[in-house]
Structure 1
């Protein structure tokens, strides 16, 4: 089997977790390779996600590393056996590998926690809002490319609905709702859409106001925490203008999880649309978005 030239995030994440478990055990890559009947170079490729590992060897290795969590072991096997193919595979010719990785992560995990301060999160965007952002960010894109981008993002949003929808918690800074990246009418529709999305039982949306309490100043970058059923296998997606980052070290996961808890604490209480009346006099996320709709 040839080596992968561009491993997916899932493949890299599997390799990184196998390396973490090996290092925790104190076993060298050479000894681990010998135990599994593999050379040191082969082990290195596995831990970089550049080649697959058979289920029997994976189970033998993690047991030798002292891992007794059946849930973690089974989750690693699932990651290793996954083909990585899904609806996103139809877009390989038009979407970047990082965006495809993002779609696969959204489909594979059970909960997401997101912080955004410039844009509304992609899973909560209206088609017109998406298109306006694409047109501003990709001025040379053809109409077909713009259509394909909107179509792809709408497909991603399907994880929020269905029989087993994703649990989604978004903290959105008020700044994102003031940005003149789209017209006032598109922003009005987008804010109204946020209210409608907040009606879903699996969606929690909080607004962080300008006039809020202390904000963790060391976190000015949008991020998403992908939470699987096995916490050790969580992944943080950090947006970056050059290339997004996918982080999976346990210390990084702990840092971002703690930061999100702080953000959700200092943000306004969640949007809570009232079926009988849209009026809210409380100082909460719904009251703020109602004010923004009034002044738009």
Structure 2
């Protein structure tokens, strides 16, 4: 029995509970259909009990789920039993940060929209270090270095053999924030330009001239799952990451991102603006 299920395990349980409730079944009834009891169903849905791909398919069948793509995507969630690199930080960093790395690792596509910070997946080591030095309450030097190394390791999703497609919508304000001074800011912008040239990475800048836009007051990180129902929104709050996966929430943030992207400059004009900001430093 798990005592600390991961975010992915919790999400699988949540989706199975949604299917059961849509079928109008109680946990007791679902347990009987599976030849078990209510306790097992409750533990599966809470992420406390492991569940095989075959059992996921059996539950979906009992729940009369007609969406084969969703069923197979759910069945694939417990299939990867390897420990992710983020488990090295299990006793060092908050669990929500590890859940974020796990979501990124399994994502089919990633998109972020950010106003005053550089996206974590595109930060240099020096820039990341400076951002963590601004955390309140102050982090100790070892804690800062743990978070820096963790952030840099998260970027492996952009460098692996089959890198994850990534779209970054960055406001001009973030380009002009000089974390650590002009030298670090200049290096960060050059790194951003280099990354934007990769085929699977799209960087679009929202210029000051775009005016107001939906979602301007928050940073949004959208992770696309193998099917839309398994998408996840991550909001970066001062007290830690917050994950959203309700259908209405996902629909809302899809619209926000679409509207923000519509106001952003195309990739080449975005690179031209980044070059201009570098010259101003």
* The two structures share one fold, judged by TM-score above 0.5: yes
Aligned residue in 2 for 1:293: 278
Distance in 2, Cα, partners of 1:165 & 1:118:
26
Pairing of 1:96-107 with structure 2 (within 5 A): 96-107=94-105
Unaligned runs of 5+ in 2: none
Aligned residue in 2 for 1:234: 231
Task: Give the number of aligned pairs.
Answer: 281
Distance in 1, Cα, partners of 2:112 & 2:37:
41
Distance in 1, Cα, partners of 2:138 & 2:261:
38
1:162-214: CA deviations, max 9, x gaps? 32001000101112122344312111111111111000000001111122044
Pairing of 1:1-296 with structure 2 (within 5 A): 2=1, 4-83=2-81, 85-137=83-135, 140-216=138-214, 220-270=217-267, 272=268, 284-296=269-281
User: Which is worse superposed, 40-49 or 239-248?
Assistant: 40-49
Runs of 4+ in 1 over 6 A off after TM superposition: none
For residue 227 of structure 1, report the CA deviation from its aligned partner.
Answer: 0.9
Distance in 2, Cα, partners of 1:238 & 1:139:
20
TM-score by length of 2: 0.92
1:255-292: CA deviations, max 9, x gaps? 1111111110011112x3xxxxxxxxxxx312321221
Distance in 2, Cα, partners of 1:124 & 1:87:
19
For residue 155 of structure 1, report the CA deviation from its aligned partner.
Answer: 1.4
CA gap 1:237/1:84 in 2 versus in 1, 3 angstroms? farther
Unaligned runs of 5+ in 1: 273-283
User: Which is worse superposed, 95-104 or 18-27?
Assistant: 18-27
* CA RMSD, 1 decimal: 2.0
Secondary structure, in 3 states, of the residue corresponding to 1:26? Answer: coil
Q: Is the 8 A contact 2:127 2:179 kept in 1?
A: no
Distance in 2, Cα, partners of 1:146 & 1:183:
18
TM-score by length of 1: 0.88
1:130-171: CA deviations, max 9, x gaps? 111122226754444333322222211111123200100010
Q: Is the 8 A contact 1:9 1:246 kept in 2?
A: no
Secondary structure, in 3 states, of the residue corresponding to 1:136? Answer: coil
Secondary structure, in 3 states, of the residue corresponding to 2:193? Answer: helix
Distance in 2, Cα, partners of 1:244 & 1:228:
18
Distance in 1, Cα, partners of 2:84 & 2:210:
41
For residue 109 of structure 1, report the CA deviation from its aligned partner.
Answer: 1.2
Distance in 1, Cα, partners of 2:217 & 2:136:
24
Distance in 2, Cα, partners of 1:171 & 1:251:
22
Q: Is the 8 A contact 2:54 2:75 kept in 1?
A: no
